[in-house]
Structure 1
Amino acid sequence: MFSAPDDATAQRMRTARAFACTTLALTDLAEKPVWGYAGRTLSGAVATSAQGTGWLRVVAEHPDKAHGKLWDGPKTAQRLLPPEIPRPVLHYVHDWQAAGWAYRAELYQHMDATVISRSPVLARDPALPEAWWGKLRTALDSLAETPTERTAVREEYIRRAVPEYTGCDVGEIEWATAHGDFHWSNLGGPDLTVLDWEGWGRAPVAFDAAQLYLYSLHVPTTAARVRQALTHILDTPAARVAELTICAQVLQAADRTPFYKELAGPVEEYLHVKYGRTAPAPFRPRSDLMMRQIWR
Protein backbone atom coordinates (compact mmCIF):
# COMPACT_ATOMS: atom_id res chain seq x y z
CA MET A 1 0.00 0.00 0.00
CA PHE A 2 1.35 3.39 -0.97
CA SER A 3 0.58 7.07 -0.61
CA ALA A 4 -1.51 8.91 -3.20
CA PRO A 5 0.49 10.05 -6.25
CA ASP A 6 0.68 13.57 -7.64
CA ASP A 7 -2.62 15.35 -8.25
CA ALA A 8 -2.67 14.84 -12.02
CA THR A 9 -2.05 11.10 -11.74
CA ALA A 10 -4.58 10.77 -8.93
CA GLN A 11 -7.27 12.54 -10.94
CA ARG A 12 -6.54 10.46 -14.04
CA MET A 13 -6.80 7.20 -12.08
CA ARG A 14 -9.99 8.25 -10.30
CA THR A 15 -11.50 9.06 -13.69
CA ALA A 16 -10.44 5.64 -14.98
CA ARG A 17 -11.99 3.93 -11.95
CA ALA A 18 -15.25 5.82 -12.45
CA PHE A 19 -15.27 4.81 -16.12
CA ALA A 20 -14.71 1.17 -15.19
CA CYS A 21 -17.55 1.25 -12.68
CA THR A 22 -19.92 2.73 -15.26
CA THR A 23 -18.85 0.34 -18.02
CA LEU A 24 -19.12 -2.76 -15.82
CA ALA A 25 -22.30 -1.61 -14.04
CA LEU A 26 -20.60 -1.46 -10.64
CA THR A 27 -21.32 0.73 -7.64
CA ASP A 28 -18.19 2.20 -6.09
CA LEU A 29 -18.11 1.45 -2.35
CA ALA A 30 -14.54 2.59 -1.65
CA GLU A 31 -14.41 5.74 0.45
CA LYS A 32 -10.61 5.47 0.56
CA PRO A 33 -9.41 3.36 -2.39
CA VAL A 34 -5.98 1.79 -2.16
CA TRP A 35 -3.09 3.18 -4.22
CA GLY A 36 -0.36 1.11 -5.80
CA TYR A 37 3.19 2.27 -6.35
CA ALA A 38 3.37 5.71 -8.02
CA GLY A 39 -0.37 5.58 -8.71
CA ARG A 40 -0.03 2.73 -11.21
CA THR A 41 -3.03 0.96 -9.65
CA LEU A 42 -6.13 2.04 -7.76
CA SER A 43 -8.24 -0.54 -5.95
CA GLY A 44 -11.29 -0.72 -3.74
CA ALA A 45 -14.60 -2.37 -2.96
CA VAL A 46 -17.53 -2.27 -5.37
CA ALA A 47 -21.05 -3.68 -5.46
CA THR A 48 -22.02 -6.01 -8.31
CA SER A 49 -25.38 -7.37 -9.37
CA ALA A 50 -24.06 -10.91 -9.86
CA GLN A 51 -21.49 -11.48 -7.10
CA GLY A 52 -22.55 -8.98 -4.42
CA THR A 53 -19.55 -7.14 -3.03
CA GLY A 54 -16.45 -7.33 -5.18
CA TRP A 55 -13.03 -5.73 -5.44
CA LEU A 56 -12.10 -3.58 -8.44
CA ARG A 57 -8.45 -3.05 -9.35
CA VAL A 58 -7.64 -0.58 -12.13
CA VAL A 59 -4.17 -0.75 -13.67
CA ALA A 60 -2.62 1.92 -15.90
CA GLU A 61 0.29 1.49 -18.27
CA HIS A 62 1.77 3.11 -21.36
CA PRO A 63 0.22 1.38 -24.39
CA ASP A 64 3.51 -0.06 -25.63
CA LYS A 65 3.98 -1.79 -22.26
CA ALA A 66 0.42 -3.04 -21.82
CA HIS A 67 1.31 -6.68 -22.46
CA GLY A 68 3.58 -9.39 -21.18
CA LYS A 69 4.38 -10.77 -17.75
CA LEU A 70 3.15 -8.07 -15.38
CA TRP A 71 0.15 -7.11 -17.47
CA ASP A 72 -1.16 -10.67 -17.82
CA GLY A 73 0.05 -12.11 -14.52
CA PRO A 74 -3.32 -12.05 -12.71
CA LYS A 75 -5.10 -13.65 -15.69
CA THR A 76 -2.60 -16.48 -15.98
CA ALA A 77 -2.60 -17.01 -12.21
CA GLN A 78 -6.37 -17.41 -12.24
CA ARG A 79 -6.13 -19.97 -15.01
CA LEU A 80 -3.06 -21.97 -14.01
CA LEU A 81 -2.51 -21.92 -10.25
CA PRO A 82 -3.87 -24.76 -8.07
CA PRO A 83 -6.69 -24.26 -5.55
CA GLU A 84 -4.37 -24.96 -2.59
CA ILE A 85 -3.15 -21.38 -3.01
CA PRO A 86 -5.79 -19.14 -1.36
CA ARG A 87 -6.36 -16.03 -3.48
CA PRO A 88 -9.28 -13.92 -4.68
CA VAL A 89 -11.10 -15.25 -7.74
CA LEU A 90 -10.65 -13.02 -10.78
CA HIS A 91 -14.15 -12.76 -12.26
CA TYR A 92 -13.67 -10.39 -15.18
CA VAL A 93 -11.14 -8.28 -17.08
CA HIS A 94 -11.90 -5.22 -19.20
CA ASP A 95 -9.32 -3.28 -21.26
CA TRP A 96 -9.51 0.16 -22.84
CA GLN A 97 -7.36 3.12 -23.82
CA ALA A 98 -7.85 6.83 -23.17
CA ALA A 99 -5.70 9.94 -23.53
CA GLY A 100 -2.50 8.06 -24.27
CA TRP A 101 -2.88 5.46 -21.53
CA ALA A 102 -3.87 1.79 -21.53
CA TYR A 103 -6.08 0.63 -18.67
CA ARG A 104 -7.20 -2.71 -17.34
CA ALA A 105 -10.05 -3.18 -14.88
CA GLU A 106 -9.88 -6.44 -12.91
CA LEU A 107 -12.98 -7.44 -10.95
CA TYR A 108 -12.15 -9.81 -8.09
CA GLN A 109 -13.97 -11.72 -5.42
CA HIS A 110 -14.09 -9.65 -2.23
CA MET A 111 -12.18 -11.42 0.56
CA ASP A 112 -12.90 -11.10 4.27
CA ALA A 113 -9.21 -11.29 5.15
CA THR A 114 -7.40 -8.09 6.16
CA VAL A 115 -4.00 -7.17 4.73
CA ILE A 116 -1.45 -7.93 7.43
CA SER A 117 0.73 -4.85 6.99
CA ARG A 118 0.38 -1.53 5.19
CA SER A 119 4.11 -1.72 4.44
CA PRO A 120 5.84 -4.64 2.76
CA VAL A 121 8.27 -4.67 5.70
CA LEU A 122 6.76 -5.93 8.94
CA ALA A 123 6.82 -3.53 11.91
CA ARG A 124 5.02 -5.55 14.59
CA ASP A 125 4.07 -9.13 15.37
CA PRO A 126 0.80 -9.91 13.53
CA ALA A 127 -0.09 -12.70 16.00
CA LEU A 128 -1.35 -15.01 13.28
CA PRO A 129 -3.16 -18.25 14.18
CA GLU A 130 -1.44 -21.62 13.80
CA ALA A 131 -3.70 -22.54 10.88
CA TRP A 132 -2.37 -19.55 8.91
CA TRP A 133 1.16 -20.88 9.10
CA GLY A 134 0.08 -24.35 8.02
CA LYS A 135 -1.74 -22.94 5.00
CA LEU A 136 1.30 -20.81 4.18
CA ARG A 137 3.52 -23.86 3.98
CA THR A 138 1.00 -25.76 1.86
CA ALA A 139 0.50 -22.81 -0.49
CA LEU A 140 4.21 -22.25 -1.13
CA ASP A 141 4.89 -25.96 -1.61
CA SER A 142 2.04 -26.21 -4.11
CA LEU A 143 3.13 -23.06 -5.95
CA ALA A 144 6.73 -24.22 -6.22
CA GLU A 145 5.64 -27.32 -8.13
CA THR A 146 3.36 -25.49 -10.58
CA PRO A 147 4.79 -25.68 -14.10
CA THR A 148 5.23 -22.38 -15.92
CA GLU A 149 7.37 -20.69 -18.54
CA ARG A 150 6.96 -17.30 -16.84
CA THR A 151 10.01 -15.70 -15.21
CA ALA A 152 9.82 -13.86 -11.90
CA VAL A 153 13.56 -13.22 -11.43
CA ARG A 154 16.05 -13.26 -14.30
CA GLU A 155 19.27 -15.23 -13.94
CA GLU A 156 21.15 -12.36 -15.57
CA TYR A 157 20.03 -10.05 -12.77
CA ILE A 158 20.99 -12.54 -10.06
CA ARG A 159 24.49 -13.10 -11.39
CA ARG A 160 25.08 -9.36 -11.70
CA ALA A 161 23.40 -8.00 -8.56
CA VAL A 162 24.32 -10.60 -5.95
CA PRO A 163 28.11 -10.13 -6.21
CA GLU A 164 27.73 -6.37 -6.59
CA TYR A 165 25.53 -5.78 -3.55
CA THR A 166 26.36 -8.68 -1.23
CA GLY A 167 29.95 -9.53 -2.11
CA CYS A 168 29.00 -13.21 -2.43
CA ASP A 169 29.33 -15.53 -5.38
CA VAL A 170 26.18 -17.05 -6.87
CA GLY A 171 27.14 -20.59 -7.82
CA GLU A 172 24.52 -23.06 -9.04
CA ILE A 173 20.90 -21.91 -9.10
CA GLU A 174 17.98 -24.29 -8.52
CA TRP A 175 14.65 -23.01 -9.82
CA ALA A 176 11.01 -23.27 -8.72
CA THR A 177 7.80 -21.34 -9.29
CA ALA A 178 7.32 -18.33 -7.01
CA HIS A 179 4.92 -15.46 -6.36
CA GLY A 180 7.85 -13.08 -6.75
CA ASP A 181 6.60 -10.30 -4.46
CA PHE A 182 5.78 -12.27 -1.33
CA HIS A 183 5.76 -9.65 1.39
CA TRP A 184 3.44 -8.68 4.23
CA SER A 185 1.25 -6.19 2.36
CA ASN A 186 0.43 -8.89 -0.20
CA LEU A 187 -0.76 -11.32 2.47
CA GLY A 188 -4.07 -11.36 4.33
CA GLY A 189 -5.18 -12.82 7.65
CA PRO A 190 -6.42 -14.31 9.89
CA ASP A 191 -7.33 -16.61 6.97
CA LEU A 192 -4.39 -16.76 4.59
CA THR A 193 -5.00 -14.85 1.37
CA VAL A 194 -2.28 -14.16 -1.23
CA LEU A 195 -2.73 -11.01 -3.31
CA ASP A 196 -1.07 -9.35 -6.33
CA TRP A 197 -0.13 -12.04 -8.83
CA GLU A 198 1.38 -9.74 -11.46
CA GLY A 199 4.94 -11.01 -11.30
CA TRP A 200 4.71 -14.72 -10.55
CA GLY A 201 7.02 -17.14 -12.35
CA ARG A 202 10.32 -18.97 -12.04
CA ALA A 203 12.75 -17.85 -9.33
CA PRO A 204 15.46 -19.44 -7.20
CA VAL A 205 14.17 -22.16 -4.86
CA ALA A 206 12.78 -20.67 -1.60
CA PHE A 207 12.55 -17.16 -3.08
CA ASP A 208 9.14 -16.36 -1.53
CA ALA A 209 10.09 -17.86 1.83
CA ALA A 210 13.35 -15.90 1.87
CA GLN A 211 11.58 -12.65 1.07
CA LEU A 212 8.98 -13.13 3.80
CA TYR A 213 11.69 -14.00 6.29
CA LEU A 214 14.02 -11.10 5.48
CA TYR A 215 11.11 -8.63 5.43
CA SER A 216 10.38 -9.76 9.00
CA LEU A 217 13.80 -8.96 10.49
CA HIS A 218 12.50 -5.90 12.38
CA VAL A 219 10.30 -8.32 14.37
CA PRO A 220 12.55 -11.18 15.54
CA THR A 221 9.68 -13.25 16.96
CA THR A 222 7.89 -13.27 13.61
CA ALA A 223 11.12 -13.85 11.69
CA ALA A 224 11.76 -16.89 13.86
CA ARG A 225 8.20 -18.09 13.24
CA VAL A 226 8.66 -17.77 9.47
CA ARG A 227 11.88 -19.73 9.77
CA GLN A 228 10.15 -22.43 11.81
CA ALA A 229 7.20 -22.78 9.43
CA LEU A 230 9.35 -22.86 6.29
CA THR A 231 12.49 -24.53 7.60
CA HIS A 232 12.09 -27.38 5.09
CA ILE A 233 12.99 -24.96 2.29
CA LEU A 234 14.86 -22.14 4.04
CA ASP A 235 17.36 -24.43 5.77
CA THR A 236 18.56 -26.08 2.57
CA PRO A 237 21.62 -25.28 0.44
CA ALA A 238 19.38 -24.29 -2.47
CA ALA A 239 17.86 -21.41 -0.46
CA ARG A 240 21.19 -19.58 -0.35
CA VAL A 241 20.76 -17.98 -3.77
CA ALA A 242 17.22 -16.85 -2.92
CA GLU A 243 18.36 -15.18 0.29
CA LEU A 244 21.27 -13.43 -1.40
CA THR A 245 19.04 -12.23 -4.23
CA ILE A 246 16.52 -10.68 -1.82
CA CYS A 247 19.38 -9.04 0.09
CA ALA A 248 20.74 -7.61 -3.16
CA GLN A 249 17.31 -6.24 -4.13
CA VAL A 250 16.93 -4.49 -0.77
CA LEU A 251 20.41 -2.96 -0.77
CA GLN A 252 20.15 -1.88 -4.41
CA ALA A 253 16.93 0.07 -3.77
CA ALA A 254 17.72 1.35 -0.27
CA ASP A 255 18.65 4.85 -1.45
CA ARG A 256 15.34 5.47 -3.23
CA THR A 257 12.64 3.44 -1.48
CA PRO A 258 11.83 4.21 2.19
CA PHE A 259 10.88 0.70 3.31
CA TYR A 260 14.03 -0.73 1.72
CA LYS A 261 16.09 1.91 3.49
CA GLU A 262 14.53 0.80 6.79
CA LEU A 263 15.41 -2.80 6.04
CA ALA A 264 18.96 -2.24 4.80
CA GLY A 265 20.53 -2.31 8.27
CA PRO A 266 19.06 -5.66 9.33
CA VAL A 267 19.90 -7.11 5.92
CA GLU A 268 23.53 -5.97 6.29
CA GLU A 269 23.60 -7.62 9.71
CA TYR A 270 22.19 -10.82 8.32
CA LEU A 271 24.78 -10.91 5.56
CA HIS A 272 27.51 -10.27 8.12
CA VAL A 273 26.43 -13.06 10.45
CA LYS A 274 25.39 -15.78 8.02
CA TYR A 275 27.58 -15.13 4.99
CA GLY A 276 30.57 -13.39 6.54
CA ARG A 277 30.18 -10.13 4.67
CA THR A 278 32.38 -7.40 6.12
CA ALA A 279 30.08 -4.73 7.55
CA PRO A 280 30.55 -1.22 6.22
CA ALA A 281 31.21 1.63 8.65
CA PRO A 282 29.25 3.13 10.37
CA PHE A 283 27.33 -0.13 10.59
CA ARG A 284 27.73 -1.98 13.89
CA PRO A 285 26.25 -5.46 13.89
CA ARG A 286 24.34 -6.91 16.79
CA SER A 287 25.92 -9.88 18.49
CA ASP A 288 26.23 -13.04 16.42
CA LEU A 289 24.15 -14.85 19.05
CA MET A 290 21.24 -12.44 18.66
CA MET A 291 21.24 -12.72 14.88
CA ARG A 292 21.51 -16.49 14.93
CA GLN A 293 18.47 -16.63 17.18
CA ILE A 294 16.59 -14.82 14.39
CA TRP A 295 17.74 -16.85 11.38
CA ARG A 296 17.94 -20.33 12.86
Structure 2
Amino acid sequence: MFQAPAPATVDRMLAAQQNAADQFGLRATGRRVWGYRGRTLSGAAGPHWLRVVCAEAGTEGGTLWNGPSTSRTLPAAVPRPDLFRIQDWTTDGYTYRAELYAYAPHPRVSPRPVLDEDPALPETWWKEMTAALDALADVPPRADREAVREEYLRRVIPQFTGHQVDDITWSTAHGDLHYGNVTRGPHILDWEGWGRAPYGYDAATLYVYALLTPETAAPIRAQLAPALDRPAARGPHRLLTECAQVLQAQDRVDFCAELPGPARMPVRRCRGGAGR
Protein backbone atom coordinates (compact mmCIF):
# COMPACT_ATOMS: atom_id res chain seq x y z
CA MET A 1 0.00 0.00 0.00
CA PHE A 2 3.06 2.22 0.25
CA GLN A 3 5.89 2.82 -2.18
CA ALA A 4 8.98 0.65 -1.95
CA PRO A 5 11.51 2.10 0.55
CA ALA A 6 15.18 2.92 -0.01
CA PRO A 7 17.16 0.23 -1.86
CA ALA A 8 19.10 -0.83 1.24
CA THR A 9 15.84 -1.39 3.12
CA VAL A 10 14.38 -3.28 0.16
CA ASP A 11 17.36 -5.64 0.08
CA ARG A 12 17.28 -6.20 3.85
CA MET A 13 13.53 -6.90 3.96
CA LEU A 14 13.63 -9.18 0.92
CA ALA A 15 16.34 -11.21 2.64
CA ALA A 16 14.19 -11.36 5.79
CA GLN A 17 11.16 -12.45 3.74
CA GLN A 18 13.21 -15.21 2.12
CA ASN A 19 14.47 -16.36 5.52
CA ALA A 20 10.91 -16.44 6.86
CA ALA A 21 9.66 -18.41 3.86
CA ASP A 22 12.51 -20.90 4.30
CA GLN A 23 11.68 -21.35 7.99
CA PHE A 24 8.05 -22.08 7.13
CA GLY A 25 8.98 -24.36 4.22
CA LEU A 26 7.28 -22.06 1.69
CA ARG A 27 8.18 -19.88 -1.28
CA ALA A 28 7.27 -16.20 -1.40
CA THR A 29 5.43 -15.45 -4.64
CA GLY A 30 3.39 -12.70 -6.24
CA ARG A 31 3.45 -8.97 -5.69
CA ARG A 32 5.08 -7.30 -2.71
CA VAL A 33 3.01 -5.17 -0.35
CA TRP A 34 5.15 -2.64 1.51
CA GLY A 35 4.27 -1.04 4.82
CA TYR A 36 5.18 2.48 5.86
CA ARG A 37 8.88 3.18 5.17
CA GLY A 38 9.54 -0.50 4.67
CA ARG A 39 8.69 -1.46 8.23
CA THR A 40 6.68 -4.42 6.92
CA LEU A 41 6.73 -6.54 3.78
CA SER A 42 3.88 -8.88 2.91
CA GLY A 43 2.96 -11.19 0.09
CA ALA A 44 1.67 -14.58 -0.90
CA ALA A 45 3.65 -17.64 0.18
CA GLY A 46 2.26 -20.79 -1.34
CA PRO A 47 -1.38 -21.04 -0.21
CA HIS A 48 -0.75 -18.61 2.67
CA TRP A 49 -0.01 -14.94 3.28
CA LEU A 50 3.37 -14.07 4.80
CA ARG A 51 3.95 -10.81 6.65
CA VAL A 52 7.38 -9.75 7.94
CA VAL A 53 7.74 -6.84 10.35
CA CYS A 54 11.02 -5.37 11.58
CA ALA A 55 12.31 -3.08 14.30
CA GLU A 56 15.75 -2.05 15.46
CA ALA A 57 16.96 -4.66 17.92
CA GLY A 58 15.88 -3.77 21.44
CA THR A 59 12.93 -1.65 20.31
CA GLU A 60 10.60 -4.50 19.33
CA GLY A 61 7.50 -5.19 21.40
CA GLY A 62 4.66 -2.91 22.33
CA THR A 63 1.25 -2.23 20.85
CA LEU A 64 2.02 -2.42 17.12
CA TRP A 65 4.43 -5.34 17.39
CA ASN A 66 2.03 -7.50 19.40
CA GLY A 67 -1.22 -6.40 17.77
CA PRO A 68 -1.64 -9.35 15.39
CA SER A 69 -0.74 -11.97 17.99
CA THR A 70 -3.07 -10.52 20.64
CA SER A 71 -5.90 -10.17 18.11
CA ARG A 72 -6.23 -13.95 18.17
CA THR A 73 -8.15 -13.51 21.45
CA LEU A 74 -10.94 -11.56 19.70
CA PRO A 75 -14.26 -13.31 19.02
CA ALA A 76 -14.77 -15.40 15.89
CA ALA A 77 -17.67 -13.10 14.96
CA VAL A 78 -15.02 -10.56 13.89
CA PRO A 79 -13.97 -11.95 10.47
CA ARG A 80 -10.21 -11.96 9.88
CA PRO A 81 -7.66 -14.33 8.35
CA ASP A 82 -6.38 -16.96 10.77
CA LEU A 83 -2.85 -16.40 12.07
CA PHE A 84 -1.17 -19.82 12.07
CA ARG A 85 2.45 -19.29 13.08
CA ILE A 86 4.84 -16.63 14.37
CA GLN A 87 8.63 -16.73 14.17
CA ASP A 88 11.05 -14.14 15.64
CA TRP A 89 14.79 -13.70 15.02
CA THR A 90 17.47 -11.03 15.31
CA THR A 91 20.32 -10.33 12.90
CA ASP A 92 22.59 -7.39 12.03
CA GLY A 93 20.96 -5.02 14.51
CA TYR A 94 17.32 -5.71 13.53
CA THR A 95 14.68 -7.95 15.06
CA TYR A 96 12.14 -9.51 12.68
CA ARG A 97 8.80 -11.18 13.19
CA ALA A 98 7.28 -13.40 10.51
CA GLU A 99 3.54 -14.04 10.66
CA LEU A 100 1.92 -16.75 8.54
CA TYR A 101 -1.77 -16.21 7.78
CA ALA A 102 -4.54 -17.90 5.90
CA TYR A 103 -4.89 -16.26 2.50
CA ALA A 104 -7.95 -14.00 2.43
CA PRO A 105 -10.09 -15.39 -0.42
CA HIS A 106 -11.43 -12.05 -1.66
CA PRO A 107 -9.67 -8.90 -2.94
CA ARG A 108 -9.38 -5.70 -0.94
CA VAL A 109 -12.20 -3.24 -1.44
CA SER A 110 -9.69 -0.58 -2.57
CA PRO A 111 -5.98 -0.51 -3.39
CA ARG A 112 -5.65 2.53 -1.11
CA PRO A 113 -7.34 3.74 2.09
CA VAL A 114 -9.74 6.26 0.51
CA LEU A 115 -12.45 5.63 -2.06
CA ASP A 116 -12.27 7.28 -5.46
CA GLU A 117 -15.51 5.72 -6.65
CA ASP A 118 -18.45 3.66 -5.47
CA PRO A 119 -17.13 0.21 -4.46
CA ALA A 120 -20.55 -1.30 -5.23
CA LEU A 121 -20.63 -3.32 -2.02
CA PRO A 122 -23.93 -5.17 -1.53
CA GLU A 123 -26.22 -4.52 1.41
CA THR A 124 -25.28 -7.91 2.84
CA TRP A 125 -21.63 -6.75 3.04
CA TRP A 126 -22.57 -3.74 5.13
CA LYS A 127 -24.77 -5.85 7.41
CA GLU A 128 -21.92 -8.29 7.99
CA MET A 129 -19.47 -5.44 8.60
CA THR A 130 -21.83 -3.74 11.06
CA ALA A 131 -22.30 -7.04 12.90
CA ALA A 132 -18.51 -7.48 13.06
CA LEU A 133 -18.06 -3.97 14.48
CA ASP A 134 -20.76 -4.69 17.05
CA ALA A 135 -18.99 -7.88 18.12
CA LEU A 136 -15.69 -6.02 18.37
CA ALA A 137 -17.21 -3.13 20.33
CA ASP A 138 -18.61 -5.62 22.84
CA VAL A 139 -15.07 -6.72 23.77
CA PRO A 140 -14.08 -4.98 27.03
CA PRO A 141 -11.23 -2.52 26.30
CA ARG A 142 -7.82 -3.76 27.44
CA ALA A 143 -5.63 -1.51 29.55
CA ASP A 144 -2.55 -2.49 27.50
CA ARG A 145 -4.04 -1.65 24.09
CA GLU A 146 -4.99 1.83 22.91
CA ALA A 147 -5.93 2.57 19.31
CA VAL A 148 -6.55 6.23 20.20
CA ARG A 149 -4.94 7.75 23.29
CA GLU A 150 -7.19 10.00 25.34
CA GLU A 151 -4.46 12.63 25.74
CA TYR A 152 -4.05 12.77 21.97
CA LEU A 153 -7.79 12.99 21.39
CA ARG A 154 -8.24 15.82 23.90
CA ARG A 155 -5.40 17.73 22.27
CA VAL A 156 -6.09 17.35 18.54
CA ILE A 157 -9.88 17.70 18.52
CA PRO A 158 -9.85 21.27 19.90
CA GLN A 159 -6.75 22.15 17.87
CA PHE A 160 -8.04 20.99 14.49
CA THR A 161 -11.84 21.15 14.82
CA GLY A 162 -12.50 23.86 17.40
CA HIS A 163 -14.61 21.49 19.51
CA GLN A 164 -14.07 20.76 23.16
CA VAL A 165 -14.07 17.17 24.40
CA ASP A 166 -16.50 16.13 27.10
CA ASP A 167 -17.19 12.60 28.39
CA ILE A 168 -16.11 9.83 26.03
CA THR A 169 -17.71 6.41 25.63
CA TRP A 170 -14.89 3.94 24.96
CA SER A 171 -15.02 0.59 23.21
CA THR A 172 -12.69 -1.81 21.41
CA ALA A 173 -11.90 -0.93 17.79
CA HIS A 174 -9.71 -2.08 14.92
CA GLY A 175 -8.21 1.42 14.84
CA ASP A 176 -7.31 1.58 11.12
CA LEU A 177 -10.44 0.39 9.36
CA HIS A 178 -10.02 1.89 5.92
CA TYR A 179 -10.89 0.44 2.50
CA GLY A 180 -7.45 -1.04 1.95
CA ASN A 181 -7.84 -3.07 5.13
CA VAL A 182 -11.15 -4.75 4.32
CA THR A 183 -11.90 -7.35 1.67
CA ARG A 184 -15.02 -8.07 -0.28
CA GLY A 185 -15.49 -11.15 1.89
CA PRO A 186 -15.66 -9.23 4.14
CA HIS A 187 -12.49 -9.92 6.11
CA ILE A 188 -10.75 -7.29 8.22
CA LEU A 189 -6.97 -7.16 7.75
CA ASP A 190 -4.00 -5.59 9.57
CA TRP A 191 -4.65 -5.87 13.30
CA GLU A 192 -1.45 -4.31 14.62
CA GLY A 193 -3.13 -1.17 16.02
CA TRP A 194 -6.36 -2.53 17.54
CA GLY A 195 -7.46 -1.38 20.98
CA ARG A 196 -9.46 1.23 22.84
CA ALA A 197 -11.10 4.04 20.85
CA PRO A 198 -14.24 6.21 21.04
CA TYR A 199 -17.37 4.17 20.42
CA GLY A 200 -18.18 4.12 16.70
CA TYR A 201 -14.64 5.10 15.65
CA ASP A 202 -14.23 2.33 13.05
CA ALA A 203 -17.53 3.13 11.37
CA ALA A 204 -16.61 6.82 11.37
CA THR A 205 -13.34 5.99 9.62
CA LEU A 206 -15.16 4.15 6.83
CA TYR A 207 -17.46 7.13 6.40
CA VAL A 208 -14.76 9.82 6.41
CA TYR A 209 -12.60 7.86 3.95
CA ALA A 210 -15.54 7.82 1.52
CA LEU A 211 -16.01 11.61 1.54
CA LEU A 212 -14.00 12.26 -1.62
CA THR A 213 -17.09 11.27 -3.58
CA PRO A 214 -20.24 12.67 -1.89
CA GLU A 215 -22.52 10.52 -4.03
CA THR A 216 -20.74 7.49 -2.55
CA ALA A 217 -20.46 8.82 1.00
CA ALA A 218 -24.19 9.46 1.43
CA PRO A 219 -25.34 5.85 0.92
CA ILE A 220 -22.37 4.58 2.95
CA ARG A 221 -23.45 6.85 5.81
CA ALA A 222 -26.92 5.30 5.56
CA GLN A 223 -25.50 1.77 5.60
CA LEU A 224 -23.41 2.61 8.68
CA ALA A 225 -26.35 4.15 10.55
CA PRO A 226 -26.77 1.09 12.82
CA ALA A 227 -23.18 1.56 14.04
CA LEU A 228 -23.09 5.38 14.09
CA ASP A 229 -26.53 6.25 15.44
CA ARG A 230 -26.98 3.96 18.41
CA PRO A 231 -26.97 5.85 21.73
CA ALA A 232 -23.40 4.99 22.70
CA ALA A 233 -22.07 6.47 19.43
CA ARG A 234 -24.22 9.58 19.13
CA GLY A 235 -21.67 11.93 20.65
CA PRO A 236 -19.47 13.63 18.05
CA HIS A 237 -16.15 12.17 19.23
CA ARG A 238 -16.11 9.24 16.81
CA LEU A 239 -16.27 11.60 13.80
CA LEU A 240 -14.27 14.44 15.27
CA THR A 241 -11.39 12.13 16.21
CA GLU A 242 -11.05 10.80 12.66
CA CYS A 243 -11.48 14.25 11.09
CA ALA A 244 -8.87 15.74 13.41
CA GLN A 245 -6.42 12.96 12.53
CA VAL A 246 -6.94 13.61 8.82
CA LEU A 247 -6.44 17.35 9.23
CA GLN A 248 -3.32 16.83 11.34
CA ALA A 249 -1.78 14.40 8.82
CA GLN A 250 -2.59 16.30 5.62
CA ASP A 251 0.98 17.61 5.22
CA ARG A 252 2.70 14.24 5.61
CA VAL A 253 0.33 11.52 4.35
CA ASP A 254 -0.58 11.57 0.67
CA PHE A 255 -4.16 10.38 0.87
CA CYS A 256 -4.91 12.64 3.85
CA ALA A 257 -3.88 15.60 1.70
CA GLU A 258 -6.94 14.88 -0.44
CA LEU A 259 -9.40 14.88 2.46
CA PRO A 260 -9.17 18.18 4.42
CA GLY A 261 -12.04 19.85 2.56
CA PRO A 262 -14.42 16.90 2.79
CA ALA A 263 -13.36 16.17 6.38
CA ARG A 264 -14.45 19.65 7.45
CA MET A 265 -18.05 18.90 6.49
CA PRO A 266 -18.74 16.57 9.45
CA VAL A 267 -16.96 19.10 11.69
CA ARG A 268 -19.37 21.84 10.57
CA ARG A 269 -22.36 19.54 11.10
CA CYS A 270 -21.16 18.78 14.62
CA ARG A 271 -20.99 22.51 15.29
CA GLY A 272 -24.59 22.72 14.16
CA GLY A 273 -25.56 20.06 16.66
CA ALA A 274 -26.31 17.26 14.20
CA GLY A 275 -23.29 15.17 15.16
CA ARG A 276 -23.38 13.45 11.76
Shorter-chain TM-score: which interval?
over 0.9
Asked if 1:61 corresponds to 2:60, the answer is no
Decide whether aligned partners of structure 1 residues 253 and 262 sit closer, same or farther in structure 2, where only a CA change above 3 A counts: same
SS at match of 1:131: helix
> For 1:165, which of 160, 169, 172 is the aligned residue?
160
What corresponds to 2:65 in structure 1? 71
Asked if 1:214 corresponds to 2:213, the answer is no
Cα offsets for 1:7-31 (capped at 9, x unmatched): 111111111101111122111222x
Letter in 1 for 2:221: R
State the Cα RMSD in Å. Answer: 1.7
For residues 270 and 210 of structure 2, the distance between their equivalents in structure 1, rounded to whole angstroms, comes to 16
SS at match of 1:256: coil
> For 2:97, which of 79, 83, 104 is the aligned residue?
104
Percent identical across equivalent pairs? 48
Shift of 1:120: 0.8
Asked if 1:204 corresponds to 2:203, the answer is no
Decide whether aligned partners of structure 1 residues 239 and 14 sit closer, same or farther in structure 2, where only a CA change above 3 A counts: farther
CA contact (8 A) 2:130 2:226 kept: no
Asked if 1:84 corresponds to 2:77, the answer is yes
Shift of 1:3: 1.0
CA contact (8 A) 1:206 1:239 kept: no
For residues 66 and 247 of structure 1, the distance between their equivalents in structure 2, rounded to whole angstroms, comes to 30
Q: TM-score scaled to structure 2, two decimals?
A: 0.94
Letter in 2 for 1:8: A
Shift of 1:270: 3.0
The size of the alignment, in residue pairs, is 272
Shift of 1:93: 0.2
Flag structure 1 segments of 5+ consecutive residues without an equivalent.
48-52, 278-291
> For 2:254, which of 248, 253, 258 is the aligned residue?
258
Shift of 1:61: 1.1
CA contact (8 A) 1:151 1:202 kept: yes
Cα offsets for 1:120-168 (capped at 9, x unmatched): 1111111012221110010000000012412111111111111011111
Asked if 1:228 corresponds to 2:222, the answer is yes
Shift of 1:220: 2.2
For residues 254 and 241 of structure 1, the distance between their equivalents in structure 2, rounded to whole angstroms, comes to 20
> For 2:148, which of 142, 146, 153 is the aligned residue?
153
Asked if 1:17 corresponds to 2:17, the answer is yes
SS at match of 1:209: helix
SS at match of 2:48: strand
Give the structure with higher Rg (CA).
1
Cα offsets for 1:21-71 (capped at 9, x unmatched): 1122111222x2111111111111112xxxxx0000000112232111111
Asked if 1:133 corresponds to 2:133, the answer is no
CA contact (8 A) 1:179 1:197 kept: yes
Shift of 1:239: 4.1
CA contact (8 A) 2:112 2:179 kept: yes
SS at match of 1:29: strand
For residues 57 and 146 of structure 2, the distance between their equivalents in structure 1, rounded to whole angstroms, comes to 22
Shift of 1:233: 3.2
Asked if 1:249 corresponds to 2:245, the answer is yes
Letter in 1 for 2:259: L
CA contact (8 A) 1:179 1:208 kept: yes
For residues 13 and 239 of structure 1, the distance between their equivalents in structure 2, rounded to whole angstroms, comes to 43
Letter in 2 for 1:181: D
For residues 234 and 174 of structure 1, the distance between their equivalents in structure 2, rounded to whole angstroms, comes to 13
SS at match of 1:186: coil
User: Which aligned pairs between 1:109-124 and structure 2 lie closer than 5 A?
Assistant: 109-124=102-117
Cα offsets for 1:63-86 (capped at 9, x unmatched): 2321111111111111x1111111
SS at match of 1:74: helix
SS at match of 1:88: coil
> For 1:184, which of 179, 183, 205 is the aligned residue?
179
Q: TM-score scaled to structure 1, two decimals?
A: 0.88
What corresponds to 1:286 in structure 2? none
